[in-house]
Structure 1
Amino acid sequence: MHFVPSEPLSALRRTPFVFRTLALLLCAGFLALPVLALLASWLPWLPADQGGAQAGAILRAMAATVLPGYLWTTLWLSLLVALGAACVGAGTALVVSLFDFPGRRSLEWLLLLPLAMPAYVTAYAYTDFLQFSGPLQQGLRSSLGLQGRLLPEVRSLGGAVWVFIFSLYPYVYLLARTALGERTAHLMEAARLLGAPLPRRICAVALPLARPAVAAGVALVLMETLADFGVASYFGIQTFSTGIYKAWLAMDNRLAAAQLASMLLVLVLALLHIEQRAQKRMRFACGDAPAGSLQARPLALRGARRWAAWGACTLPVVLGFVAPVAFMLRPLLAGGADLPWERFGAWAWHSLRLSGITAALAVAMAFVLAFAVRRQPDAVTRGVVQLVSVGYAVPGAVIVVGLLLPVGWLQAVAPQWGLGTLVTATAFGLVWAYLVRFCAVALQTMQSGYARIALSLDDSARMLGSGSPGLMARVHWPLLKRSSAAAALLVFVDVMKELPATMVLRPFNSDTLAVVTYQLARDERLGEAALPALALVAVGLVPVILLSRALRGRQ
């Protein structure tokens, strides 16, 4: 006689609701505390020694003087970068998806290379080459017999727009190319068979179906632009992020900085909502092609048109990757700069250590959260996971302010705990900020891996008497090793390139490659900054190469 359970197998051996919810809330509180602290900065009962009495006066003074300039500059920067990235990213995606020309297959993945270049590294490279004392203007003056400045000032709003467009357009290119190459192929072929000319196929079929993908990519570009500190600070552009740092460091009022950061947080969350809606529209409007449908064949270009297409796709690669790398390699190959070889090992070790610790912790936390969503996908669990995922859209400067604000409150209440020293004088606070910022990257990758594991395996394991620890260790983990490795790699590279949080929270004598690159470039020692900058580029190439291989494998 067999025992038949009265409940579904998925309901057996569940963790009690109170303990499961408490564990999830503790995890979410740890990762979402900086964001919640920013919202709490507007409450009237904050401690007086946190600057609450002066925060209102500082904000009113900034609103009457510099804050409109911050908003105006940020608005123009975002608008121009969005337009430029949309044109470059969507244009190159259309060309490589719809036309056939020499080098097309190579350019499909070469267009992803600027993703390996941190925007601030690109800014340093162009400044070193194009500034008044750079080799280009010196060569022009000597060859043409002219005096003075011959090129526009690169450290300007226009220079920042240029850097952001050619550093971030791959976000738009990647999503638009995926939509055009995989999901609209059968519709483009049907329009061709019905006699529609190519311009009409592009305007009536390709662009409307790619519009959600372009909108999602532009939202990602804008989030990265708003989160930037290195480019804006180095170029002397007064954006909202630099205003947060000035309110915090120059005016010495953490609460005013937190309130400014909460304004930026609202804008970033609005962009995140737009990106998520665009992704949903993209999945709804652009379903997979039915089995056996015809695939659109790229139109072979001839004559000058094929070389024009080749040039249109090659130019972003040159401007976003080849030229900056060549500019940074120049001092290394020339040997004229005093390169810090003896300190490079220490900088690399600090970067590798912090990145490795954060990657391991992020994967572990993402594994637990993804397992909780899979086993009990109720409203509480989904809400906790969504709250944790918000951190990736929050700029590093905002996370730092939101992290130090509650630490200051607790330090004022209980100074004997030494929490302020733990966060600011050790690597604990830095790893905490990294986890808040990048745990969502690991979580998304782990959830993608879980989507490929059949639920029947869970039921079979429970029938054999396996509880949650055994199910995770014996069934899920062996099947998620590749997803875990991919998640760890993505977090590792993101932490290596992260600048704002690292620059503020790093312990004494623990500079990383990103920090020393910024400091050397700020001190006009661009030749010495080439070595750590190129090391960051080399690390960033690893996920780009893996991504390009994955995209080529789908074709």
Structure 2
Amino acid sequence: ARALGAGFRRRFLRIGLPLARPAIMAGTAIVMMETVNDFGAVDYFGVQTLTTGIFTVWLEAGNAGGAAQISCVILGMILLLVVLERASRRRMRFHRMSRTDHRIERVTLTGAVGWMTSIACALPFLAGFAFPVAVLGNHALSSAEGWLAPGLGEALANTFLVCGAAAVVTVTASLFLVYGTRLSGREGPRMLLPATTIGYAAPGAVLALGLLVPLAAFDNALADGILGMTGWDPGLLLTGGVVALVYAYSVRFFAIGQGAADAAVARVAPSLPMAARTLGQSAGGTLIRVYLPLIRGSEATALLLVFVDAVKELPATLLLRPFNFDTLATRAYEQASLEKIAQAAPSAILVILVSLTAVALLARQMMSTR
């Protein structure tokens, strides 16, 4: 294009922008899905959305059917978004012209353009992270009462418990599923594998509602059966504890574990597991002795990503948590709802610190694999 006389603006509009379209559309879809999933911010500012409508109709009006109808509307919107994006691309295909990565030519910006570009790049960080953290830090350090609150340590322990369990369950289950699909060699399971990632597109409130209704029915039937056979009432074994919450986290973030496991397993040369099987290793032995040492970096990355996302998950936690069970996210939300910003700040700061620690470990893992 440059050899044909196209300037910078024309090259960007005719070549760069169309080539970036898949990434732009994917990013837009993710932002829209995360916006639909958000509950804490819109509820705090009093903005009525479909997600807040689920809580209002279900918890305040006691209308589970109406909440389910709203959930179906949200799922329909997400499905329509995906279909429209696919239809807009129609038969367009995007290819790389070379297998090697070329260093992008660096353009030096000076004067007013350079300053404006620097401000534009720094603005998302300043407005989206630095300024809010500074405000929260000011509230958190202004009083020691929030840090000495009796429920803060318990909320921190609960967060590590359920989020850590969900991360382990998600990564383990996704690895077994991907490995089993690859081992079977059949096209049917491989075609159905992407369906396991639909939970990531569904908002947490929708997912919690869809899981709670059947789990509660099964839980009640199980408790009645045990009571009838033994005379002992076990209570609600699934929805009365953290099992339902861990299950919801696993379904919600299964796409992360499945994507990491699928990419990692695909990078293993087929000759390695074939050699192991030739030497008498079973399928399980091949997974443990061949695959795990080669993919443990990717699995550790997926473990951290699932953990960080689970720490921040609020809607599903509010709906599925047991009584008197708080995580850092729910504690910060409850205190903020009562306009107790100083008491909410320590929980919010701890959420940020836990997430940043996991991200730092993730960055270290990525640097070590280069």
Pair 408,361 (structure 1): closer, same or farther in 2 beyond 3 Å: closer
CA distance in 2, matches of 1:305, 1:430: 50
Alignment of 1:245-284 (within 5 A): 245-273=55-83, 284=93
TM-score normalised to the size of structure 1? 0.60
Deviation at 1:304, TM superposition (A): 1.6
2:94 match: 285
Equivalent of 1:407 in 202, 212, 215 = 215
CA distance in 2, matches of 1:512, 1:400: 16
CA distance in 1, matches of 2:196, 2:187: 14
* CA radius of gyration, larger in: 1
The answer to whether the Cα contact below 8 Å between 2:335 and 2:344 also exists between their aligned partners in 1 is yes
CA distance in 2, matches of 1:280, 1:452: 30
1:355 match: 163
Equivalent of 2:44 in 229, 234, 259 = 234
Deviations 1:180-215 (A, max 9, x none): xxxxxxxxxxx3344322211221221111122111
Pair 288,543 (structure 1): closer, same or farther in 2 beyond 3 Å: farther
CA distance in 1, matches of 2:181, 2:87: 21
Equivalent of 2:54 in 244, 248, 252 = 244
Given the alignment of the two structures, is residue 381 of structure 1 paired with residue 196 of structure 2, yes or no?
no
Amino acid at match of 2:47: I
Amino acid at match of 1:210: A
409-418 or 435-444, which deviates more: 409-418
The answer to whether the Cα contact below 8 Å between 2:204 and 2:252 also exists between their aligned partners in 1 is yes
Amino acid at match of 1:378: R
Deviations 1:509-545 (A, max 9, x none): 2210000000011000111111111111122224544
The answer to whether the Cα contact below 8 Å between 1:441 and 1:491 also exists between their aligned partners in 2 is yes
Deviation at 1:380, TM superposition (A): 2.9
Amino acid at match of 2:75: L
Deviations 1:443-471 (A, max 9, x none): 11111111210111121112112221111
Deviations 1:481-508 (A, max 9, x none): 1111111111111111111111122122
Pair 521,552 (structure 1): closer, same or farther in 2 beyond 3 Å: same
Pair 502,280 (structure 1): closer, same or farther in 2 beyond 3 Å: farther
Number of matched residues?
362
1:311 match: 119
CA distance in 2, matches of 1:378, 1:420: 42
Given the alignment of the two structures, is residue 206 of structure 1 paired with residue 13 of structure 2, yes or no?
no
Deviation at 1:270, TM superposition (A): 3.2
Alignment of 1:179-198 (within 5 A): 191-198=1-8
The answer to whether the Cα contact below 8 Å between 1:215 and 1:278 also exists between their aligned partners in 2 is no
CA distance in 1, matches of 2:202, 2:105: 41
Given the alignment of the two structures, is residue 341 of structure 1 paired with residue 148 of structure 2, yes or no?
yes
1:531 match: 346
CA distance in 2, matches of 1:290, 1:486: 26
Pair 363,250 (structure 1): closer, same or farther in 2 beyond 3 Å: same
* 1:192 partner SS: coil
Deviations 1:238-263 (A, max 9, x none): 11111122221122122221222122
* 1:424 partner SS: coil
Amino acid at match of 2:105: R
The answer to whether the Cα contact below 8 Å between 2:301 and 2:362 also exists between their aligned partners in 1 is no
Identity %: 38
Pair 493,436 (structure 1): closer, same or farther in 2 beyond 3 Å: same
Equivalent of 1:461 in 272, 276, 281 = 276
Deviations 1:420-478 (A, max 9, x none): 71233211111111111112211111111112101111211121122211111111111
Q: Which consecutive residues of structure 1, in runs of 5 or more, have no partner in the other structure?
A: 1-190
TM-score normalised to the size of structure 2? 0.89
CA distance in 2, matches of 1:547, 1:289: 29
Equivalent of 1:364 in 167, 172, 187 = 172
1:499 match: 314
Amino acid at match of 2:118: W
Pair 494,281 (structure 1): closer, same or farther in 2 beyond 3 Å: farther
Kindly report the root-mean-square deviation, in angstroms, between the aligned alpha carbons of the 2 structures: 2.8
CA distance in 1, matches of 2:84, 2:289: 39
296-305 or 493-502, which deviates more: 296-305
